[in-house]
Amino acid sequence: MTSRRSLPRSAAAVLGLSLTLTAVPAAADARPPAAPTAPTVSEQQVMPHLRALQRIADRNGGNRAHGTKGYAHSVSYVRSALDRAGFRTKLVPFTHDGATGYNLIADWPGGDPDHVLMTGAHLDSVKEGPGINDNGSGSVAVLAAALQVAESGLKPRRHLRFAWWGAEEQGLIGSADYVGKLSEADRRKIDVYLNFDQAGSKNTQQWFVVHDDEHGETEAQQAFEAWFAERDIPTFDIGVGGSDHESFGNAGIPSSGFSTGISDCIHEACDNLANVDPKTEKTSTDAIVGVLWKLAATAPRH
């Protein structure tokens, strides 16, 4: 456990952000320029996606585990929402334990391809339950954030890529497959990977922000801690590990993100819709959006 350093709220950072966004030249297409402040979502913009994942589990034997129809339908659901919004999506198959798994990768057109800001969550559940908090909650928070990018017509300086991983519950298989297939050059293009595993836990008192021991306090960690501090929401540092950011960490890619903590129903049949607090889910989504907006507009440091 590392100690949390409080971050001075910098007016210059805000000014820098708005200047940056104003400086983006008017595009040839009809999209309006991005607003200087990040949007927020309503519970109604997030919870329907979680209800959809619950229905998918209900129709497919009660789970969305690797190699099942429940997982395949979860991937199709998320992919169609992204396709409709204008993302470039692809399914990347891998084989594990005798079954085909899929990672879903979605790129938002534009931004510097040499500086990728990657945001992800595992979409699979365990066989024992529908996995609505672990990790439907992280998956739909990332989805809702991506849809905000599209709705706002965000023109990021960095390239934005989103990912939903398969077979995390079998040992981070999907994310390890993705990272393992990257060339050294492509690996270096990822400025930071942001991971969200359990974003809607009930009785959340504090958000557990990922601190990357290898890379020190990343700009992403600072941005998350600043976002929560501005709203008087307590945070606590946790190390890289236990979810897909570990695959990135193993490859030397900086990471951050957060979790709202492990629920009593983790990996059980009771990890259903009732195991998610809609207010926490909304706050998590807003935090992702806020930090994406900040990092998307920030000039890369290297």
Binding residues vs Zn ion (CB under 5 A): 134-135, 197
Catalytic residue flag (residue 168): yes
Smallest distance, Zn ion to C-beta of residue 218, A: 21
3-class secondary-structure state, position 125: strand
Classify 21 as helix, strand or coil.
Answer: helix
Minimum distance from residue 200 beta carbon to Zn ion (Å): 12
Q: In angstroms, rounded to a whole number, what is the distance separating the alpha carbons of residues 148 and 166?
A: 23
DSSP line for 216-259: BS-HHHHHHHHHHHHTT--EEEEES-SSTHHHHHHTT--EEEEE
CB of 197 to Zn ion, least distance (A): 4
Phi, psi of 258 (to 5 degrees): -160, 170
- The residue behind tokens 């601190």 is 211
Residue 151 C-beta: closest distance to Zn ion, Å: 27
Smallest separation (angstroms) from Zn ion to the CB of 274: 18
Which residues are CB-neighbours of 124 under 8 A, at least 6 positions away?
Answer: 64, 65, 66, 71, 74, 101, 131, 135, 165, 166, 167, 168, 169, 170, 174
Q: Closer CB to Zn ion, residue 135 or residue 201?
A: 135
Alpha helices in the chain (DSSP H): 11-23, 47-59, 69-85, 138-152, 173-181, 184-189, 219-230, 245-250, 278-297
The nearer residue to Zn ion, 134 or 277, going by C-beta atoms, is 134
CA–CA distance, 5 with 38 (Å, rounded to integer): 24
Cβ 130 to Zn ion shortest distance, Å: 13
Beta carbon nearer to Zn ion, 135 or 256:
135
Q: With beta carbons less than 8 A apart as the criterion, state whether 289 and 212 touch.
A: no
Residues contacting 9, CB < 8 A, separation 6+ = 226, 229, 230
Name the residue nearer to Zn ion (CB basis): 197 or 225.
197
Nearer to Zn ion, 135 or 298 (CB): 135
Which of residues 197 and 277 has its CB atom nearest to Zn ion in the complex? 197
| Catalytic choice (43, 151, 168, 169) | 168
Give me Rg for the CA atoms of the chain: 18
Q: Which residues are catalytic?
A: 168
